[in-house]
Structure 1
Amino acid sequence: MKKLLTLIFISGLFFGEIQGQNTEEKMVSQAFDKLIVGMIKADAMDLSSVVSEDLSYGHSSGVIQDKAAFLQEVVSENPISYQTIERESETVQVSGNTAIMRNLLIIRGLSPTGDPINLRLATLMVWKKEKKQWKLYARQGFRLPA
């Protein structure tokens, strides 16, 4: 069954809900909402609350970061200060304490010199349920044509 993505625009942020999701799938999508908010706010505490200590974060450039490097990069807003992260599509599959999420994302931001950055990415994310909370465990993104 194909799932529909509904986007809600609130104060420059997009929050998504996929129709037909079960409770655990919705919780994973909500954890991703928190990740997006943390990235846009460049807030280490918000981000830290939704990423695993064992995070493996793969960028479309091929760079792989652990949790500390990922947090430092987002908080420093270098190479990008995130302005908006929009979901073009999303699927979530939960199996026990693991979830696989696939997204098509439109990311808009600014470089440290103020130049606009516009990216269209596909991502594969693995989420793990740790102490009753979904946390990002692994992510790999790749660029798509704009």
Structure 2
Amino acid sequence: MTLDKVARGCNTRGKIKKEETMIINRRELALSTLAVSTIAITASGAMPAQAASADEEAVAKKVEAFRLAQIAADPKALGALCWDDLSYSHSSGKVEDKATFIANATDGKSKFLSIEYKDPTIKVVGPAAIVRFHWVAEQEMAADGKKVPTNLHILMNWQKQGDDWKLLSRAATKL
């Protein structure tokens, strides 16, 4: 049975309009999809995103403090930034605990002329933060004055301890 046959016996004949084709261009579809997605994301995740941003900012400050402490070879600052059970892995495969890392980093056998943490990323997952960056540095050896460049990929894991973030582990890979 067609619409015309139904309409013949109905008092609404002439009042029924034929269906029109709805034309949507890609731009309108993209804009409406973007608007709905933005509203959904904002409504569902505004608070966790703000909390994560505060933690990410706190971790970023600790990472920068760690970089400056390495350049200064400051044992007190390095000790305050590291977890007691630190696992510090070098690109050579050598792994140090907190005491050994601090002793070797501040023994005066070499000094950093520069350390850059390029393209850092920080991802906070609960009470942990995963930090990755490209390490570009230059050291000067105390014994012979030889300058040694290093080009590494670094992975750091920071753990929240109360309101403070501490370095739990660090691993390096040569590039």
TM-score, normalized by the shorter chain, greater than 0.5:
yes
C-alpha distance in structure 1 between counterparts of 2:98 and 2:108, whole Å:
16
Q: 2:87 aligned with 1:67, yes or no? A: no
C-alpha distance in structure 1 between counterparts of 2:139 and 2:108, whole Å:
10
Q: 2:167 aligned with 1:139, yes or no? A: no
State the TM-score, normalized to the length of structure 2. Answer: 0.67
Count of residue pairs brought into register by the alignment:
123
Q: Any idea what the Cα deviations from partners look like across 1:98-125, whole Å, max 9, x if unmatched? A: 0001111111111122111111110111
Large movers: runs of 4+ above 3 Å: none
Q: 2:67 aligns with which of 30, 33, 36?
A: 36
C-alpha distance in structure 2 between counterparts of 1:131 and 1:114, whole Å:
43
Shift of 1:82: 1.4
1:89–1:105 contact (8 Å) kept in structure 2: no
Please identify the structure whose Cα radius of gyration is greater. 2
Q: 2:135 aligned with 1:105, yes or no? A: yes
Report the identity percentage. Answer: 30
Q: 2:146 aligned with 1:115, yes or no? A: yes
Q: 2:158 aligns with which of 108, 127, 130?
A: 127
| RMSD of equivalent CA atoms | 1.2
5+ residue gaps in structure 2? 1-51
1:103–1:122 contact (8 Å) kept in structure 2: yes
Shift of 1:51: 0.6
Secondary structure at the counterpart of residue 106 of structure 2: helix
One-letter amino acid matched to 1:100: I
Between Structure 1 and Structure 2, the one with more helix by share is 2
5+ residue gaps in structure 1? 1-20
1:87–1:103 contact (8 Å) kept in structure 2: yes
Q: Any idea what the Cα deviations from partners look like across 1:52-85, whole Å, max 9, x if unmatched? A: 101000000000000000000111133x311211
One-letter amino acid matched to 1:25: E
State the TM-score, normalized to the length of structure 1. Answer: 0.80
C-alpha distance in structure 1 between counterparts of 2:77 and 2:92, whole Å:
25
Between Structure 1 and Structure 2, the one with more strand by share is 1
